Structure 1
Amino acid sequence: MSVTGTEGGNAGRREDTATGTASRGAPENGTLVDPHVKVLNERVVDRARARGLDALVYAPHFTRLPDIRARAARFSDDDLLVVPAREVFTGTWRNRQHVLGVGLSEPVPDFISLPGALAAFERQNAAVLVPHPEFLNVSLDREAITRHADAIDAVETHNFKTLPRGNRRARGLVRETGLPAFGSSYAHLAGSVGEVWTAFERELDSESDLVAALRTGAPRRVLRRDTLGHTLRGAAEFAHLGYENSWGKVDRLFLSGTEPTHPSHVAYEGRFDDVREY
């Protein structure tokens, strides 16, 4: 795969500086990745291609890995690689710490302890990413990142849904810890895909290539669009938070114990009983 030069992919772009892994100069051959999106359909694929992306990481909420893999495969082709992943909700709903696993071969449920999730990721040699650090009550904080730094492969320094001050704090965390960086749209809305992306210097042609690049700290830059449309879409994504963080929504849809990613679901065969929070 090569970095594309379409107007949609490059117009109004801006580098997110002080990421800890930034390199100067655009690579002649590389891979542009939006490494965390929540939606996947024809519109998303069209948007990704228009933005000049080579790959997406698809990690919807409350969906089991086999279903994620099947949908990712449906929309993946020679022009756009779609990599399946899981953003696991660790801890309780009121104090949850999200962690993103890329390259999982076996399902991992939500609402287990953070050490339990990290151990499951390590057993599968998955890449471990920290999305939106220190964001509200849904993220790993500075203490957790520092404590588990050896198990973390990258920290997000620009998230489309996060306010500027939050992204500045994230860049400070990367400088302090020396961990690699990444940036994503975290798109819950199709129009947000490709508003923020990570540009790897080398070609990544498969899920295993991306996992290896993340786990080894391969050189990359974090980039974002810098247009009025970018600002407006960001406001729409932030407004979407009200629904995403509704306790009533999760109480109705998840905590009955029968939902697909609940740790007591029959699909997990009791393997996570010792680290479950509900």
Structure 2
Amino acid sequence: MHVKVLDEKVVRRAKQRGLDALVYAPHFVRLPEIRRRAERFSDDDLLVVPAREVFTGTWRNRKHVLAIGLDEPIPDFVSLTGAIAECDRQDAAVLIPHPEFLNVGVTEADIRVHGDVIHAVETYNPKHLDRHNRRAKAIVEATNKQAFGSSYAHLRGTIGEVWTAFGASIRTEAELVERLRAGNVTRVVHRTGRHHELRRRMEFAHLGWENSWGKIDRLVLSGMEPTHPDHDAYDGRFDDISVY
């Protein structure tokens, strides 16, 4: 809860690691496409839940919000308040990944402001350094939010390194949303040892690529993002909360 990659190898690794479900939320992909791909890779042994990690704010200072259970698309590059209000309107589960991490994390102050509609905050992420995970746990304790953990896998090998446990199996997207909104997370679990530390370093190194060449590729070579609020797919519905 959650991953950025999804294919046959990811599904096979998730099953080998004993996972029951994956939340799939790739960057800059519209919800209908995410949902189609999630359905394609779901089966009786592994539920793949579609979700959106919404980039709120500008490229220079963006804050990520993970929304699970959306019925309608939400673009990136909208205000944090506008994005959370739209998630709340759709009765989605609103989760905060990597709080206060670099320039992409929601702050403790933001969580307090929007506390009534934020359901969980991430306390363990392989891309974090140890101090980031400690800070995330302190934020959860200070705001009295439930914790969740995520492999945040941009690389296939990180699947199953971190997971969030519930008291009972989850069979549908609606069940996951209901349990998150009700505060039914049991515990956050992660692997340990040299292999796990190697995976963490690889994911952190990938972050450097993603924020250098990966960003240039998207901003300069690709043109307008598919999830930009000005894209024709949104028909101007989010002009009032767009930051561009």
Give 1:202 shift.
Answer: 1.8
Counterpart of 1:251 in structure 2 is 219
Give 1:227 shift.
Answer: 2.1
Give 1:55 shift.
Answer: 0.3
Q: Does 1:188 align with 2:154?
A: yes
Structure scoring higher RCO (CA < 8 A, sep ≥ 6) equals 1
| Root-mean-square deviation (Å) | 1.0
Q: Does 1:44 align with 2:10?
A: yes
Give 1:249 shift.
Answer: 3.1
The total of aligned residue pairs comes to 242
The 3-state SS of whatever aligns with 2:179 is helix
Counterpart of 2:85 in structure 1 is 119
- Please tell me the residue identity of whatever aligns with 2:39: A
Q: Which runs of 5+ in 2 are unaligned?
A: none
Counterpart of 1:142 in structure 2 is 108
* Greater percentage in helix: 2
C-alpha distance in 1 between matches for 2:210 and 2:226:
18
- Please list, as runs of the form range in 1=range in 2, the aligned pairs for 1:99-248 lying within 5 A after superposition: 99-246=65-212, 247-248=215-216
Post-superposition CA distance 1:66-95 (Å, at most 9, x none): 000000001000100000000000000000
The 3-state SS of whatever aligns with 2:152 is coil
The 3-state SS of whatever aligns with 1:230 is helix
C-alpha distance in 2 between matches for 1:71 and 1:159:
24
Counterpart of 1:74 in structure 2 is 40
C-alpha distance in 2 between matches for 1:86 and 1:131:
12
> Which of structure 1's runs of 4+ aligned residues deviate more than 4 A?
none
Q: TM-score, normalised on structure 1?
A: 0.85
Post-superposition CA distance 1:85-115 (Å, at most 9, x none): 0000000000000000000111100000001
The 3-state SS of whatever aligns with 2:37 is helix
Q: Which runs of 5+ in 1 are unaligned?
A: 1-34
The 3-state SS of whatever aligns with 1:40 is coil
Closer/same/farther in 2, CA of residues 198 and 253 from structure 1, 3 Å limit: farther
Counterpart of 1:17 in structure 2 is none
The 3-state SS of whatever aligns with 1:240 is helix
The 3-state SS of whatever aligns with 1:56 is strand
Give 1:219 shift.
Answer: 3.7
Give 1:157 shift.
Answer: 0.5
Q: Does 1:265 align with 2:231?
A: yes
The alignment-based identity, stated in percent, is 63
Given candidates 36, 55, 60, the residue that maps to 1:89 is 55
The 3-state SS of whatever aligns with 1:221 is strand
Given candidates 38, 61, 68, the residue that maps to 2:27 is 61
Closer/same/farther in 2, CA of residues 63 and 136 from structure 1, 3 Å limit: same
Q: TM-score, normalised on structure 2?
A: 0.97
Give 1:189 shift.
Answer: 0.2
Give 1:253 shift.
Answer: 5.0
- Please tell me the residue identity of whatever aligns with 2:141: R
